[in-house]
Amino acid sequence: MSDGIRAFVFDAYGTLLDVNAAVKRNAASMGEKADAFAAMWRSRQLEYCWTRTMMNRYEDFWTVTEEALVYTLRTFGLDHDEDLKARLLSAYFVLDAHPEARQALARLKDSQVKISVLSNGTNQMIKAALEAGGLLEFIDAALSVDDLKVYKPDPRVYQYACDTLNVKPSQVVFVSSNAWDLAGASSFGFKAARINRSQLPPEYEFAGLHSEHRSLVELATLIR
């Protein structure tokens, strides 16, 4: 197998799953502010994960997601709408998969490599969203940082994937659309594969990338 690759480990949110799907489904309640709302919610969600990790004040991803949503609702003057808040939060259990995700995972599955998801989401959130997106059947192991009580890109999270899959870092292709996650994975020793659907410029160049792709389906070229 090419480069000794034994496993593909995927980030979930933004990579396999459309992290903005919750807002898209409720865009009518926000009007022209929907895109800005989605961007702020996501940025605060990540920021709170990182700051909690640095302060050793872990709370699970569901709690952090709600904290970030409360801030965003207040910022946009929507904090009075409890029904909207409930709809947005519940949508995280049924996020849409990116259109090519199912085909891409099926191709990799045919190649006899291990397929795993390594996510900041809770076990319940990950499995529910993967099942709703029609992806769970392709996943050998859905791993959550909640088992460690620390968020990516802490190296312990990537080590957890190696320990669970019984592989060395050099045998893993780590796939993400998030540059910060790829930097953590590459620094740990994974082969970092960036899914760059929007053709964003390079980031965290000190960490290096193994490959970059416009679509998940291109990953199959790594194991030919």
Q: Measure Cα distances from 214 to 63, 125, 140, 166, 204 in Å.
A: 32, 26, 24, 29, 18
Cα separation, 126 vs 58, in Å, equals: 18
> Is residue 11 flagged as an active site residue?
yes
Contacts of 177 (CB under 8 A, 6+ apart): 11, 14, 15, 194, 195, 196, 197
Which one of the listed residues 3, 11, 60, 81 is annotated catalytic? 11
Are the beta carbons of 79 and 71 closer than 8 angstroms?
Answer: no
Largest CA distance in the chain: 55
Tokens of 202: 């390079």
Residue 8 — φ and ψ, nearest 5°?
-110, 120
Are the beta carbons of 145 and 119 closer than 8 angstroms?
Answer: yes
Q: Smallest Cα–Cα separation from 157: which of 184, 135, 193?
A: 184
Q: Smallest Cα–Cα separation from 166: which of 131, 114, 207, 209?
A: 114
40 three-class SS: helix
Catalytic residues: 11
